[in-house]
Amino acid sequence: MNNKKRILIVDDNTTIADLAEIMLQAAGYECTKVNSGKQCLDIVRESYRNGSDYDLILLDIAMPQFSGLDVLQAMKAEGYLENNKVVFFTASSATNMEIENFKKMGALDCLRKPFSKADLLSFVGRHLSSK
């Protein structure tokens, strides 16, 4: 049985998604990477049907067509938030009040970009250890 923690990385910026994937895989995590909110929702639905939810979803907020907030609302409406931990990461200068609102919507936290490898690993580790 594979007991690696599974992380879904969602960012329309492929460079950021690639870097996050490289950093997390090097730390021993199993990663899946997609570049749109719609792809994220499709993969969450599929993993739910297969009984293989992700341990953590790193979700960019600002994406074209279907934002991270849209994804979070859809996951909540479809009942997927109970089995999936969602954390946002954003390049916007999200205020503490906005981050609190994200948490009220169902996200666990928000990591501001740009982030260092140490920032990312610490952030992910903190949220995975509380499962």
- Of 9, 40, 36, the residue nearest 25 (C-alpha): 9
The mean predicted confidence, pLDDT, of the chain is 92
Identify the pLDDT of residue 2.
Answer: 57
The structural domains of the chain, with segments of one domain joined by +, span 6-128
Identify the pLDDT of residue 129.
Answer: 84
How many Cα neighbours within 13 Å face the side chain of 106?
Answer: 21
Identify the pLDDT of residue 1.
Answer: 44
Coil vs helix vs strand at 9 = strand
CATH superfamily for 6-128 is Response regulator (3.40.50.2300)
The one-digit pLDDT tens for each residue of the chain (131 residues) are 457 999 999 999 999 999 999 999 999 999 999 999 999 999 999 999 999 889 999 999 999 999 999 999 999 999 999 889 999 988 777 788 888 999 999 999 999 888 999 999 999 999 998 64
Coil vs helix vs strand at 75 = helix
Can you tell me the distance from the alpha carbon of 129 to that of 112, in angstroms, rounded to the nearest whole number? Answer: 20
Token pair 């934002």 is found at 67
Can you tell me the distance from the alpha carbon of 61 to that of 12, in angstroms, rounded to the nearest whole number? Answer: 10
Identify the pLDDT of residue 131.
Answer: 46
